Structure 1
Amino acid sequence: MPGVVTALTLTGCKDNGTATSQPSDQASQPAQSTTPGSPTPAPVSPTPTTPPGGKIGTDGTKLTITVRMSPTSDPIKRTLTCDPPGGNAPNAAQACASLDKVAAAKGGDPFAPTPKGQMCTQIFGGPQTAAVKGTWKGKKVDTTFGRKNGCEIKRWNDLAALFGPLAHTPTH
């Protein structure tokens, strides 16, 4: 139980945004119940479980992914939804999971560009490009990916599940 005690102790230290913060009395008082021995009702969620309009996925993820294996190749168009996983992406569930994983690693935005001024290795990863447009978790997405240097290769590899397997293309 040391982890629970630590969690409760840290909860009391939360800063509420004022210059001076006082510990909450809430944790030290027993839960109130209207009937002796009855369980305390679960707290009501402040956010609805279904988005306004009643449709699951209305504010979710709906992406169009266009991949080109070279500048002159025909585009490969795919779609991806993540609530529930679907579309014609090769493995929608894996692609959706990779978006969440990369978002967690990049501070919430899996599509974040390489920061300006970032030093990148001058390694050419191939002529492949991809454009991603649509919405991710209700946020507008309109970005491109390439493989022209180490930073761009990393961005590509992080979200490779969106683009599908790379065809072997000559680089000469």
Structure 2
Amino acid sequence: MALRSRRSAPRRTRGLPAAALIIGLLAAPSLAACGQGNQPAPSPGITTPASPGTASPGSGSPGAPSESTPPTTEEGTAMDADLTIVLTSAGSDARVERKLVCKDSQPADGSTVRDADAACAALTKHGEKVFFELPDRNRICTQQYGGPQQARVTGTISGREVDKQFSLTDGCKISEWNSMQALLGSRAGEA
């Protein structure tokens, strides 16, 4: 009986290293994507940059200015903005239009968003990434639904044209909305 248990033990453990290798290979892409969860990223194909060629070939980073493009507003630097925000809800005819005007990152006359100070601050902090950076093609977005709210933002930020759609149809888009909540309103539909 002792011989039988010795023979069966190696059979049970032979597949264990192969199974561990397969599990490790399957889990690696998921674990690599976890480190990107706190950074809101723009949705592919939604933003229209003012000039093609915002990323120079071989520059190593998307959105890095090439020598032929004008300098961009870096995160946290003062900027001017003149934006129209149109808020809608899928399946409804309701439409709310707001305006945001910022001069040197401070609210200016003509702003109708609820908290223009916070909206200008959000643009200064996150505007470059949300409106102008190209998204990482390898990012993975959670498949979750945040609500029927939608927004379209048009106008200019520091002289660059903006035409961007926002929605709450996956985790990446929800993260974008949250970073611009002062501009768009809460996910509950407040403007």
Q: Same fold (TM over 0.5)?
A: yes
Distance 1:74 1:92 in 2: 23
Q: How far does residue 163 in structure 1 lie from its aligned partner after superposition?
A: 1.1
Contact 1:130 1:144 in 2 (8 A): yes
Contact 1:120 1:149 in 2 (8 A): yes
Contact 1:78 1:89 in 2 (8 A): yes
Counterpart residue type for residue 118 of structure 2: Q
User: CA offsets, 1:136-158, max 9 Å, x none?
Assistant: 11111001000000000000101
Match of 2:161 in 1: 140
**Aligned counterpart in structure 2 of residue 110 of structure 1, from 130, 138, 141:** 130
Distance 2:131 2:95 in 1: 20
Counterpart residue type for residue 75 of structure 1: R
Contact 1:114 1:152 in 2 (8 A): no
Give structure 1 stretches of 5+ with no counterpart. Answer: 1-58
Query: 1:1-172 residue pairs with structure 2 within 5 A?
Result: 60-83=80-103, 84-86=106-108, 87-103=111-127, 108-112=128-132, 114-167=135-188
Q: Which runs of 4+ in 1 moved over 3 A?
A: 112-117, 165-168
Larger helix fraction of residues: 2
Q: How far does residue 118 in structure 1 lie from its aligned partner after superposition?
A: 2.1
TM-score normalised by the chain length of structure 1: 0.56
TM-score normalised by the chain length of structure 2: 0.51
Match of 2:25 in 1: none
Give structure 2 stretches of 5+ with no counterpart. Answer: 1-78
Q: How far does residue 64 in structure 1 lie from its aligned partner after superposition?
A: 0.3
Seq. identity, % = 36
